[in-house]
Amino acid sequence: MTSAFDVAGVGLNATDTLLIVPRFPPYAGKILFEEEILSPGGQVASAMVACARLGLRVKYIGTLGDDERGRIQMASLKASGIDIEDVKVRPGCPNQSAYILIDRSTGERTVLWRRPDCLRLDPSEILPEQILACRMLHIDGHDTPAVEKAARIARSASIPVTVDVDTLYYGFDRVLPLVDYLIASSEFPVQWTGEDDPFKALEVLQNEYGMRVAAMTLGAHGALARMERRFVYSPAYVVNCIDTTGAGDVFHGAFCYAVLKSMPIEEALDFSNALAALNCTALGARGGIRGVEEARALMLRAERRFHPDFASHAGR
């Protein structure tokens, strides 16, 4: 039977206020900001927008506030062609928000965020038919019981599960055995395992939980993955970086696409790095999301930023 969707995402969205400054102020300092922009973002929602931009059939499952920020997020999802039938709008609840300070000189950002408890996604709101309608499930870790339920439904039907996780969540040890593709922040594997060596941390995670791929994003240095008992390092692409906001989210969306297109792991990481790099060339979590052709073109022409430690210990 043909699935209605290529990928469904269960997890966070946010509406960001971007504050562009000429440079980060010193601690307890004061600086004039140059520009203020309201922009939709959020981990899973932005990954799903990237998937839709790449031509996949996409469903988003999550919660929104009924304020102006919620309406901005909803408009963005609709405009991207994403199925929003299972988005829950919480009456009288503000949407998740973030204030993002962007250093104009480097494109690096600092994020301050808040998510009201009224946005919590309850496991009872995850229904089997929502998950079984897709070929792949992408989750984060925030509403852990709800994403665990979604992942269990997917696992029971042999639907692959990808996860974006950047911090420790209570109960996430029940989610990890259900994951096929772990793409974590560089901090998470070390924090979870207590292993300072990132290679060892990924090996421990994969051996303990049995995911097919255990990987981490490395920001300006690319991504590192372990698959079939070997490590693969993909250096980052060098671009004119305007804003790093959302780069990791777009990486995850591109990786979902790459897995569904059966790309080898080396190509999947390179493609994901390329799409993430392109997103950094514009302001906002989704400001620079591009299509397949643009990513392929960057992969052919761009300089790459190798980290010597990762390059010397992993295959390329």
pLDDT tens, position by position, 42-97: 999 999 999 999 999 999 999 999 999 999 999 999 999 999 999 999 999 999 99
Closest by CA to 1, choosing from 97, 173, 129, is: 129
Question: Does position 313 have pLDDT exceeding 90, yes or no?
Answer: no
Question: Residues 98-127: pLDDT tens digits?
Answer: 999 999 999 999 999 999 999 999 999 999
Region 16-45 average pLDDT:
95
Q: What are phi and psi of 2, to 5 degrees?
A: -75, 135
Task: For 282-309, give one letter per residue: b (16+ CB within 10 A) or e.
Answer: ebbbbbbbbebeebeebbeebebeebee
CB 65 within 8 A of CB 140: no
Residue 112 covered by a domain:
no
223 Cβ contact partners less than 8 Å away, ≥ 6 residues apart? 183, 215, 216, 217, 233, 234, 251, 269, 272, 273
Region 25-47 average pLDDT:
95
E-strand stretches of 160-294: 161-165, 181-184, 213-217, 223-227, 230-234, 236-237
Q: What are phi and psi of 210, to 5 degrees?
A: 75, 20
Q: What does the pLDDT read at residue 232? A: 96
Q: What does the pLDDT read at residue 140? A: 97
Q: Return the residue matching tokens 């808040």.
A: 114
Question: What domain count does the chain have?
Answer: 1
Specify the 3-state DSSP secondary structure of 154. helix
Provide the CATH number for the domain around residue 150: 3.40.1190.20
Q: How far is residue 37's CA from residue 8's CA, in Å, rounded to a whole number?
A: 28
Residue 248 covered by a domain:
yes
Question: Residues 298-312: pLDDT tens digits?
Answer: 999 989 988 888 877
Assign 1 a pLDDT band (cuts: 50, 70, 90): low
Q: What does the pLDDT read at residue 2? A: 76
Question: Residues 180-202: pLDDT tens digits?
Answer: 999 999 999 999 999 999 999 99
Residue 26 covered by a domain:
no
Task: For 228-256, give one letter per residue: b (16+ CB within 10 A) or e.
Answer: eeebbbbbbbebeebbbbbbbbbbbbbbb
Q: What are phi and psi of 23, to 5 degrees?
A: -165, 160
Residue 154 covered by a domain:
yes
Give the CA radius of gyration of the chain: 19
Q: How far is residue 38's CA from residue 243's CA, in Å, rounded to a whole number?
A: 14
Domain span at 270: 5-12+42-94+122-313
Question: Does position 177 have pLDDT exceeding 90, yes or no?
Answer: yes
Residue 141 covered by a domain:
yes
Residue 18 covered by a domain:
no
Provide the percentage of residues in the chain whose pLDDT is more than 90: 94
